[in-house]
Amino acid sequence: VWGSGRGLGPSAGRLVHDSALVGGALAFLRSPLMPENLKGLDAFLGRHARYAELEAREILKSRAGASRGQRPGRLTGSWPERRRFIKTRIWYRLPYRPALRFAWMFIIKRGFLDCRPGLVYCELISAYQAMIYARLLEFERANSSVAFP
């Protein structure tokens, strides 16, 4: 089970959305994992506001070349390596990321099939992308003097 950020194993070294580096065999759960988050919209928005700040710091680190301790992404590697490559080399540089994320989730991933809840969720995730962009602008306007932990 996941525990990388809590000292239970090695990680990829990201500030947000970190991933565990597994050196041994993997196993599957015997029953489905059913997430139940009943904390409400305020908790969701607060959590994503914190994530947006950390993600903006990751983007700045990536642009400055300060993310050297992390595993590099490769276009010809495994799926996680390709995804990392796309995220750091392409996605971070695209304009209109909130609109692209909405289109990806609502149209391509068929969020519209969930009707109003799907629409609201896709709007919230695109708002999260806008928060990342806003934090990034805020950090850049502060002369890019962001301390990287």
* CA–CA distance, 24 with 83 (Å, rounded to integer): 22
Note the pLDDT tens digit of each residue in 104-133: 999 999 999 999 999 999 999 999 999 999
The pTM assigned to this predicted structure is 0.75
**Backbone phi and psi for residue 41, each to the nearest 5 degrees, phi listed first:** -70, -35
* CA–CA distance, 79 with 141 (Å, rounded to integer): 35
3-state SS string for 36-87: CCCCCHHHHHHHHHHHHHHHHHHHHHHHHCCCCCCCCCCCCCCHHHHHHHHH
Note the pLDDT tens digit of each residue in 39-83: 999 999 999 999 999 999 988 888 877 666 667 788 888 888 898
Reduced to 3 states (helix: H, G, I; strand: E, B; else coil), residue 11 is strand
